[in-house]
A and B are shown apart, each in its own frame.
Chain A
Amino acid sequence: MTEVVQQDLASERQVQTIDSETPFKRFVSEFFDSKTASVALFILLSIIILAVIAPWITPQDPYDLAQVDVLDGRQPPGAEAFSGYTMWLGSDGAGRDLYSGILYGLRISLSVGVMSGFIALLIGMAVGLLAAYAGGRAENVIMRVVDLQLSFPAALVALMLIAILGKGVDKIILALVVAQWAYYARTVRASALVERNKEYVEAAACLGISHARIIFRHIMPNCLAPLIVVGTVQTAHAISLEATLSFLGVGMPQTSPSLGVLIANGFEYMLSGRYWISVFPGIALLVTVVSINLVGDHLRDVLNPRISTGGGKAK
């Protein structure tokens, strides 16, 4: 009995807090209701900060060939380098300190992932909104292109493009954008179709507001929730895709190693017992991708009212 009363009070209190809060505050408090997601977000933010401040906390700049000494090559974790510092995670075949290499690699992997994810999001969003709003033949053409694109594995599309375009950071970003924009377009179009038929859009049309303004001021903000979710998950996907390409030797060049390049470098030493060259960058990649995915997963739970139970404890 008391339990019921308490529950009632709790739900009443919740109604009150919801009433007095902005949607954003409610969203934040719901997000942090999940321990997993909070921890994942904490790890992700730590990784980003570490990557950003890498030049100030690493003993070696792995891009500066003057600082890389071949004599330090293939040292186990904890060995002392020729120039005096301790290589806590060992070194790879070229004498790069792995701790430094991983942080610098994270910089490249994260920035390539975020950049390509963001550009793909902008393109996909514009295309998806246009398709949903225009309807008719334009929508059909756009969505068939999207279907065609999605019927190829993203890695295959990226590989083909790299083969045509050649190596380089800009080309990898371009390849990832081309491989991924269709996911965004499809997501946005689905939610924009729902929004387009709501009465507030009719009201805006009735008020003589231009099409462009209706699309970007009215429909777009209402489609952002699923887009943010797809954005996080696809960014994680872009990071692992970049690592895949680099691992296959068509991604980042040897002189500016991303995580994928580091893993590939250590691959040949795996059977000779020098596990650390591949394993540590691999763990870094794994932790990054998993934490982004966990954050994205929980974002979806919070942002989707059909899954969210209100308290954010959906599972």
Chain B
Amino acid sequence: MSAPLLEIRNVSKRFVKKLDVAGKIAARLGANISEETVHAVDNVSMTINKGEVVGLVGESGCGKSTLGRVVAGIHNPTDGQVFFEGQDISALEGVRKREVTLAVQMIFQDPFASLNQRMRVEDIIGEAPVYHGLTTRSEKSDYVDEIMEKVGLDPSLKKRYPHQFSGGQRQRIGIARALAVKPRFLVCDEAIAALDVSIQAQVINLFMDLREEFDLTYLFISHDLSVVEHIADRVLIMYLGRVVESGITEEIFDRPVHPYTSALLAEAPRLDQRKREFAPIKGEIPSPLEPPSGCHFHPRCPHAIGDCSRQAPALEVVRRNHIAACHLRERFG
């Protein structure tokens, strides 16, 4: 079997808030302040094969967007490596580096902030292809027309500015901008979360159409389980920077092992159980500044045993195509 399209190995991303001079002096004098480190992503590994759609699910603040940005090359990982077609992207140089940079593109959550308000749509979409020589200045107009049609935008609107479009249209502009550099891998960071439900469906369908047409692979980051269930081949569940469970979609949704996954699934609204009461997962998501010891989920877990607070469980195989990080996986699996 050939190398997976994208692989990340033991990737961690930490954000450190260094002390300024005043802080250092205060700390020296005995004040109770120290450097703050956020473990946004903690030792995550995954592989994504060509043509797959992988869903990345978790509560807000669990590090899924940071992981997406590491994959897209916007953040460099603090530890670990990202491989594209078997090559470590941090070791690439020159033409190949640019190829890989362009091959992995990102669709952002906020269709307002992700478009430059001062540029016309034509320039937003056409800037990078001209810059990288995928088209010429004189052919830019036709090139942009073609891409705008592909994403369902009227090319006659290309002289307009982003503020003259609706949220759904703006998201299409963002998709067109990414497609313009002929990517092979798209990271969709909550790409539909800011849209109306009716528009969400359209944009998801657009993603799936584009997948076939351009042979795309997706990392689909979302907190919306129903969307992920609908489109993803495989799912990763993240909690506080760590992957707690992953596997093919049906497995995860039908037979979840990790108590966190079960809780998430139980609370997802479903059409066939409209009138039931919802019981949110008890407690709040802990601060990533001081994550709980052992298994990060143990303070909120209804099944926690003594070991859970002492030792972090490793990801182990539960069944074929299904891994989970829980000391009690045998009981639940």
A200 at the binding interface (Cβ < 8 Å): yes
A203, A204, A208, A221: the one within 8 Å of B174 (CB) = A203
With a cutoff of 8 Å between Cβ atoms, the chain A residues found around residue B108 in the complex are 199, 202-203
Give the complex CA separation of A218 and B101 in angstroms: 19
**Is B113 in contact with A208, judged by CB distance below 8 angstroms?**
no
With a cutoff of 8 Å between Cβ atoms, the chain B residues found around residue A153 in the complex are none
**Is B98 in contact with A208, judged by CB distance below 8 angstroms?**
yes
B117 at the binding interface (Cβ < 8 Å): yes
With a cutoff of 8 Å between Cβ atoms, the chain B residues found around residue A208 in the complex are 98, 101-102, 128, 131-132, 181
B106, B116, B117, B131: the one within 8 Å of A206 (CB) = B106
Proximity string of chain A (200-221) to chain B, C-beta cutoff 8 Å, 1 when within and 0 when not: 1011111111000100011001
B115, B117, B128: the one within 8 Å of A207 (CB) = B128
**Is A221 in contact with B132, judged by CB distance below 8 angstroms?**
no
What's the least CB distance linking A16 to chain B, in Å?
11
With a cutoff of 8 Å between Cβ atoms, the chain A residues found around residue B127 in the complex are 207, 209, 217
Give the complex CA separation of A222 and B115 in angstroms: 12
**Is B72 in contact with A206, judged by CB distance below 8 angstroms?**
yes
A35 at the binding interface (Cβ < 8 Å): no
Proximity string of chain B (166-183) to chain A, C-beta cutoff 8 Å, 1 when within and 0 when not: 000000001001100100
**Is A206 in contact with B74, judged by CB distance below 8 angstroms?**
yes
Give the complex CA separation of A200 and B162 in angstroms: 12
**Is A23 in contact with B116, judged by CB distance below 8 angstroms?**
no
A272 at the binding interface (Cβ < 8 Å): no
Interface SS of chain A: helix
Given the known inter-chain contacts A22-B161, A200-B113, A202-B69, please indicate yes or no for A207 contacting B118, CB distance below 8 A: no
How many residues of chain B get a CB closer than 8 Å to chain A's CBs? 31
**Is A199 in contact with B72, judged by CB distance below 8 angstroms?**
no
**Is A207 in contact with B164, judged by CB distance below 8 angstroms?**
no
**Is B106 in contact with A202, judged by CB distance below 8 angstroms?**
yes
B73 at the binding interface (Cβ < 8 Å): yes
B261 at the binding interface (Cβ < 8 Å): no
Give the complex CA separation of A203 and B115 in angstroms: 8
**Is A199 in contact with B128, judged by CB distance below 8 angstroms?**
no
Given the known inter-chain contacts A22-B161, A23-B161, A199-B110, please indicate yes or no for A221 contacting B118, CB distance below 8 A: yes
With a cutoff of 8 Å between Cβ atoms, the chain A residues found around residue B101 in the complex are 206-208
Give the complex CA separation of A203 and B117 in angstroms: 13
Within 8 A of A (CB), among B115-164: 115-119, 127-128, 131-132, 161, 163-164
Give the complex CA separation of A208 and B117 in angstroms: 20
A3 at the binding interface (Cβ < 8 Å): no
Residue of B nearest to A26 (CB): B163
Give the complex CA separation of A209 and B132 in angstroms: 8
Instruction: Give the one of A22, A199, A206, A213 with max B CB within 10 A.
Output: A206
**Is B105 in contact with A23, judged by CB distance below 8 angstroms?**
no
B90 at the binding interface (Cβ < 8 Å): no
Give the complex CA separation of A218 and B128 in angstroms: 12
What's the least CB distance linking B286 to chain A, in Å?
25
B287 at the binding interface (Cβ < 8 Å): no
Within 8 A of B (CB), among A156-209: 198-200, 202-209
B293 at the binding interface (Cβ < 8 Å): no
B114 at the binding interface (Cβ < 8 Å): yes
**Is A202 in contact with B131, judged by CB distance below 8 angstroms?**
no
With a cutoff of 8 Å between Cβ atoms, the chain B residues found around residue A206 in the complex are 72-74, 101, 104-106
With a cutoff of 8 Å between Cβ atoms, the chain B residues found around residue A64 in the complex are none
Give the complex CA separation of A202 and B106 in angstroms: 9
B115, B132, B163, B164: the one within 8 Å of A200 (CB) = B115
Given the known inter-chain contacts A23-B163, A198-B113, please indicate yes or no for A207 contacting B69, CB distance below 8 A: no
With a cutoff of 8 Å between Cβ atoms, the chain B residues found around residue A19 in the complex are 164
**Is A200 in contact with B74, judged by CB distance below 8 angstroms?**
no
**Is A222 in contact with B118, judged by CB distance below 8 angstroms?**
yes
What's the least CB distance linking A279 to chain B, in Å?
46
What's the least CB distance linking B296 to chain A, in Å?
27
**Is A222 in contact with B128, judged by CB distance below 8 angstroms?**
no
Instruction: Mark B residues whose CB is within 8 Å of A.
Output: 69, 72-74, 98, 101-102, 104-106, 108-110, 113-119, 127-128, 131-132, 161, 163-164, 174, 177-178, 181
Q: List 27 A-B contacts (CB under 8 A).
A: A19-B164, A23-B161, A23-B163, A199-B109, A199-B113, A199-B114, A200-B113, A200-B115, A202-B106, A203-B106, A203-B178, A206-B74, A206-B101, A206-B105, A207-B101, A207-B105, A207-B128, A207-B178, A208-B98, A208-B101, A208-B131, A209-B127, A209-B128, A209-B131, A213-B131, A217-B127, A221-B119
Instruction: Mark A residues whose CB is within 8 Å of B.
Output: 19, 22-23, 198-200, 202-209, 213, 217-218, 221-222
Besides A19-B164, A222-B117, 12 other CB < 8 A contacts? A22-B161, A198-B114, A199-B108, A200-B114, A200-B115, A204-B116, A206-B106, A207-B102, A207-B105, A208-B102, A217-B127, A221-B116
